[in-house]
Amino acid sequence: MKKAITPLLIVLALLATADLASAQKFPAMDKSPADIATYPKSYRISDKNVKVVYSRPQKKDREIFGSLVDFDKVWRTGANEATEITFYQDSKIGDQVVPAGTYSLFTIPGESEWTIIINSKLNQWGAYSYDKSADVARTTVSASTDPKPLEEFSITFDEDDDNVHMVLGWDTTRVAVPVSF
């Protein structure tokens, strides 16, 4: 009799586990999904110099810079949590040295130029607790426009003539930040 009960208990335990797993509710896709930009960009190259983890808000027929995102105020550079940037070796952003490590990436958008901020305080929601005293590096770069608008805020890396730029883009605004390793 004991042998017949054991398989029955195993079957009941498996059914209970399956019901529990199927009853789990997963959240819907975030309205500003997370993404990652790396340099080098190729997924075939695992030895990266830099990685940026950020959320991608959507334009949705809104005016972006100067309206949704204020000019001359610190911005989280994306949506949700503050954008994080990891340098895997000592690097430069503009002409500022940044030691290897993980940082928050903030920006101060302007009409014609942006301030790029590398900040040592991690795990921040938005820029609400931004602390200037934790800044590791700041550089100012020009903003440009592109006639083709981007619906999603985007970050990518471009390379030309041995120069690397982290490019931020949303709507018709483009900002190319020189990065060297």
CA 36 – CA 92 distance, rounded (Å): 20
Contact 155, 54 (CB under 8 A): yes
The pairing of strands 50-55 and 113-119 is unpaired
Non-local (6+) Cβ contacts of 44 within 8 A are none
The tokens describing 124, both together, are: 């921040």
- Asked, for residue 47, whether it belongs to a domain, the answer is yes
Token pair belonging to 48: 């990266």
Q: Domain span at residue 41?
A: 26-180
Q: If you average pLDDT over residues 137-154, what whole number do you get? A: 97
Q: How does residue 33 score in pLDDT terms, banded at 50, 70 and 90? A: very high
pLDDT per residue as tens digits for the range 38-70? 999 998 999 999 999 999 999 999 999 999 999
Show the tokens assigned to 6. 């054991």
Is residue 17 domain-resident? Answer: no
Query: Given CA atoms 159, 111, 81, 121 in this order, what sign does their dihedral have?
Result: positive
Residue 30 located in a structural domain: yes
- Structural domain includes residue 19: no
Q: Residue 16: inside a domain, yes or no?
A: no
Query: Length of the chain in residues, anyone?
Result: 181
Domain count, the chain: 1
Q: Round to whole Å and give the CA distance between 98 and 107.
A: 16
Does residue 21 lie in a domain region? no
∠ CA 81-136-35, nearest 5°, is 30
Supply the pTM of this predicted model: 0.85
